[in-house]
Amino acid sequence: MIVLFNLLISIFCVIHIFLFYHLKIKMHPNYFANHAIIFILKISFISMFIYFFIFNLSISNYKQFIISGVFNFTLFHIIEGLISQKKIFK
């Protein structure tokens, strides 16, 4: 179950990175505002996703799900930051 959970979070993050890297997205001059909005949306989505898995599927070891979800999100957030930095400074 935890593998499926982390796979779904990874797919969500990879799709976001792929869209950001390959599409011409018109960004505001204030990059921090863009980043804050995207970050809040992703955190909200993944928090709801963790809630769905823990409470609707009656997961007894919820700490493992929360820690692995946050680790997965952090890893992909760092990768997204490196890619977006590369794109901005290009």
Counting other chains too, the contacts that 74-83 makes at CB distance below 8 Å and 24 or more residues apart are 76/9, 76/10, 76/13, 76/14, 76/17, 77/13, 77/39, 77/42, 79/13, 79/17, 80/13, 80/16, 80/17, 80/20, 83/17, 83/20, 83/21
CA distance linking residue 8 with residue 49, whole number of Å? 9
Q: Give, as one character, the DSSP assignment of residue 76.
A: H
Per-residue pLDDT, 27: 63
User: What's the pLDDT tens digit per position in 21-63?
Assistant: 676 666 666 777 777 777 787 788 878 877 777 777 777 777 8
Q: Which residue has the higher pLDDT, 38 or 71?
A: 71
Residue 10 pLDDT level (bands cut at 50, 70, 90): confident
